[in-house]
C-alpha cells in the first residue's frame, strides 16, 4: 500500500500543512480533493492517516484521523557500504535499497571507483546536489513501495571515513556483522552461517566496477568483515548490491524458520 511521507510531524492539534511539490503530488498527480483521505508516514516511519480539510491557495491542510502508530522494526539495521560506481548506477542502487527497506546507504570512494572525491568535473553535479538527488530518490521509492523503513544516505566518503563509521557501529552494537562480497571463495561459511549468529547490525560491502583491490580486501578483513562469494558468476555492481541486500533481508525475515530447521 502506498504511503505519503510527511515532511514533518502534525502540530499539537493533529494538523498538517503541505505546500509546493507535496501539494502538486497529492492534488495534481494523485488527484485527491477535500474530504479524501490518504495513508501517511511520519519521517521516522510512524504510520497515520490524513483527511484533507482544504486545498485553498495551493496549500493542503489536513488532519490526523488515526493516532500515529509506530511500526516496530524486528530486524537488525542493515547498512549497504557501496563503492561508488560509474554514471547513474548509484541512482538505481539507492532506489532498490530504499524499496528493499535498507536502513543506511554509505557510498564511498574505492580504488576502482571512477568518481573521485578530490577532483571536480563540469559533467558532475556538486557533491551536495548528488546527496539531495539521492534523498529525493529515497523519498519517491519509499512512497511507491510503501516501505516503512527510514532509509538514510550518507555523503560519499573515503575509505578511512568508512572504517571510522564502521568502528562507531561496532561500539554502538553488541554483535555487529560485516560481510564483503568477493569473487573468490575465501571462506566456507555462507549467509546462513554468518546470520545464524544473531547479529544486531549488518553491514554489506559491495565494490564498484572491478570489485575491490587486494589491499582494500585486506583492510576490510582486518576491520572484521567476512568475505563471501556470489556463486560462479561475476555480477554487475548494481546487481550485486540488490542480490546481497535481498538475501540478507529475506534470511533475517525468515530467520526463525531456517534456524529451527537447522536445529532439527
- Enumerate the domain spans of the chain: 4-64, 78-260
Asked which of 6-20, 46-60, 161-175, 230-244 is least confident by mean pLDDT, the reply is 230-244
Beta-bridge partners for 201? 176
What CATH number labels 4-64?
2.40.240.20
Residue 187's pLDDT is what? 61
State residue 122's pLDDT score: 46
Enumerate residues 6+ apart whose C-beta is below 8 A from 92.
238
- For the CA atoms of 121, 152, 194, 241, what is the dihedral angle to 10 degrees? -40
3-class DSSP state of 38: strand
In this chain, the answer to whether the domains covering 4-64 and 78-260 adopt an identical fold is: no
Average pLDDT over residues 212-221: 93
Long-range contacts from 118-127, C-beta under 8 angstroms, 24+ separation: 127/155, 127/156
Confidence category of residue 213, pLDDT binned at 50, 70, 90: very high
Name the least confident of 44-48, 71-75, 118-122, 190-194: 118-122
Identify whether the C-beta of residue 172 lies closer than 8 Å to the C-beta of residue 204: no
| Percentage of the residues of the chain whose pLDDT score is greater than 90 | 59
Q: Which residue has the cell 494538523?
A: 15
Residue range 79-131, pLDDT digits in tens: 999 999 998 899 999 999 999 999 999 999 999 888 777 655 444 556 778 89
Its CATH architecture, for the domain 78-260, is 3-Layer(aba) Sandwich (3.40)
Neighbour-count burial of 75, counting CB atoms closer than 10 A to its CB (0-12 exposed, 13-18 middle, 19+ buried): middle
State pLDDT tens for residues 160-187.
999 999 999 999 999 999 999 886 655 6
pLDDT at 235 over 60: yes
Give the model's pLDDT for residue 147. 85
Please state, in angstroms and rounded to a whole number, the distance separating the CA atoms of residues 204 and 249. Answer: 11
**How, if at all, do strands 47-54 and 60-64 pair?**
antiparallel
Arithmetic mean of pLDDT, 145-157: 89
Q: Is the pLDDT of residue 256 over 80?
A: no
Give residue for cell 563509521: 165
Amino acid at each position: 500500500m502506498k504511503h505519503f511521507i510527511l515532511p514533518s510531524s502534525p502540530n499539537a492539534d493533529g494538523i498538517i500543512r503541505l505546500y509546493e511539490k507535496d501539494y502538486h503530488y497529492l492534488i495534481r498527480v494523485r488527484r485527491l480533493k477535500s474530504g479524501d483521505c490518504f495513508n501517511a508516514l511520519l519521517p521516522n516511519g510512524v504510520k497515520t492517516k490524513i483527511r484533507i480539510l482544504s486545498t485553498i491557495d495551493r496549500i493542503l491542510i489536513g488532519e490526523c484521523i488515526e493516532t500515529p502508530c509506530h511500526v516496530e522494526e524486528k530486524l537488525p539495521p542493515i547498512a549497504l557500504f557501496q563503492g561508488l560506481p560509474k554514471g547513474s548506477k548509484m541512482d538505481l542502487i539507492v532506489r532498490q535499497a530504499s524499496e528493499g527497506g535498507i536502513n543506511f546507504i554509505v557510498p564511498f570512494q574505492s580504488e576502482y571507483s571512477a568518481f573521485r572525491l578530490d577532483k571536480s568535473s563540469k559533467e558532475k553535479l556538486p557533491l551536495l546536489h548528488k546527496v539531495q538527488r539521492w534523498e529525493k530518490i529515497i523519498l519517491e521509492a519509499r512512497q511507491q513501495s510503501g516501505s516503512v523503513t527510514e532509509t538514510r544516505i550518507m555523503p560519499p566518503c573515503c575509505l578511512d571515513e568508512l572504517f571510522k563509521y564502521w568502528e562507531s557501529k561496532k561500539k554502538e552494537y553488541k554483535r555487529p556483522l560485516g560481510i564483503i562480497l568477493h569473487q573468490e571463495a575465501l571462506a566456507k561459511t555462507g549467509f546462513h552461517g554468518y546470520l545464524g549468529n544473531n547479529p544486531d547490525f549488518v553491514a554489506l560491502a559491495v565494490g564498484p566496477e572491478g570489485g575491490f583491490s587486494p589491499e582494500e580486501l585486506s583492510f576490510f578483513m582486518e576491520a572484521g568483515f567476512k568475505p563471501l562469494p556470489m556463486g560462479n558468476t561475476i555480477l554487475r555492481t548494481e546487481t550485486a548490491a540488490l542480490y546481497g541486500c535481498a538475501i540478507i533481508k529475506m534470511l533475517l525475515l525468515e530467520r526463525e524458520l531456517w534456524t529451527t530447521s537447522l536445529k532439527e
